Structure 1
């Protein structure tokens, strides 16, 4: 999945959580935490891959052996500081990233590429990229088509929610 689409999915998942559990749209800071966490796996792994430290761009940051302890640590710290909602937002964002990297490999039958889930215990072969999903009216449908739909839906949802997160970057106007 493209990195920007992970951010979109993280937002959509967190927005769904806030609607189901709180009956409202996401607040600024938790929304930003969810979006940041949704991109964190790539922020960890892509530079390490580019620097030649790891063999591919889905290793440490995508491995459940790292993800689960990290999410638990953030949850514990957030809970102790009475900021549980930020811990929840982080968990939803980060776990949405790992979860959404799985279906494309399953649908395309590239099960060996799921090695990132338990890396370094399991091997992670080179990522083969965009996956074909089928043909409709002579047009090949790939994972990029679905990712585009997800991205547009997330932007529309975020816009209708009042663009949470943007308010944190606006200067305060005091009279």
Structure 2
């Protein structure tokens, strides 16, 4: 998945979670926490693999359930003491959604559960080969773009498009968090800097 797809998938799950658990739409701070966490495993692993050659694959430390589980338990536990449970819940759902978002497509494509990519250091995804961060991005983005512009999109591309459309519709119905807060903050800042 691409970063925007991870954020979209995470938002679908997080909005459903907040509606079921709290009976309301996500709020701004927790939505930012969710979006940050939804891309964090790739922010950790891709540069370490592609740029610094620390790992053979872009799915290692940040994608490992052995790292994610204690990280998320710690974030949620610490947040309870700081009265930041909504943001911690957003972070936890976002991070978990990233792992699930990588697991589902790989498993569907292979026809079997492909959990080894989440079991680093006991298991791992196939090696990416040593490429720079830019070359890795270029390679995968070219494949992605080619799959989108084809006149015969794969079912996977159709599901991606449907997920993005559903997310935009849900995000709009939820009031586009955190956009209104960001706009108001920019207006307030502008008034302070430039007057009314």
Of the three residues 179, 185, 192, the one matched with 1:166 is 179
Q: Which has the larger radius of gyration?
A: 2
Please say which of residues 9-18 and 99-108 is displaced more in the overlay: 99-108
Runs (4+) off by over 6 Å: none
1:113 is displaced (CA, Å) by 5.4
Q: Which has the larger share of strand?
A: 1
Between 105-114 and 87-96, report the one with greater CA deviation. Answer: 105-114
Q: Which moved more, 1:65-74 or 1:107-116?
A: 107-116
The two structures have a TM-score, normalised by structure 1, of: 0.85
**Distance in 1 (alpha carbons) for counterparts of 2:94 and 2:113:** 25
Q: Give the distance between the partners of 1:112 and 1:75, measured in 2 at CA.
A: 28
1:68 Cα offset (Å): 0.6
For 1:134, the equivalent position in structure 2 comes to none
In the alignment, what sits opposite 2:43?
43
Please tell me whether the aligned partners of residues 36 and 93 of structure 1 are also in contact (alpha carbons under 8 angstroms): yes
Residue aligned with 2:154, SS:
strand
Q: Which residue of 1 aligns with 2:164?
A: 151
Map of 1:65 onto structure 2: 66
**3-state DSSP of counterpart to 2:24:** coil
In structure 1, stretches of 5+ residues that fail to align are 132-137
CA contact (8 A) 1:75 1:88 kept: yes
Aligned-CA RMSD value: 2.5
Task: Give how far 1:62 is off.
Answer: 0.5
**2:168 and 2:127 mapped to 1: Cα distance?**
31
TM-score (norm 2): 0.76
**1:23 CA drift (Å):** 1.6
Structure-1 separation of matches of 2:160 and 2:59: 19
Conservation of the 8 A alpha-carbon contact between 2:116 and 2:125: yes
Distance 1:107 1:28, change over 3 A: same
The structural deviation recorded for 1:126 is: 3.3
Distance in 2 between the 1:165 and 1:105 partners? Answer: 31
Q: For residues 64-84 of structure 1, what are the alpha-carbon distances to aligned partners after superposition, in whole Å with 9 as ceiling and x for unaligned?
A: 011111111111111111211
Query: Is the Cα–Cα contact under 8 Å of residues 42 and 61 in structure 1 kept in the other structure?
Result: yes
- State the partner residue of 2:148: none
1:100 aligns with 2:101: yes
Aligned residues, how many? 168
Matches within 5 A, 1:19-58: 19-51=19-51, 52-58=53-59
The SS at the match of 1:107 is helix
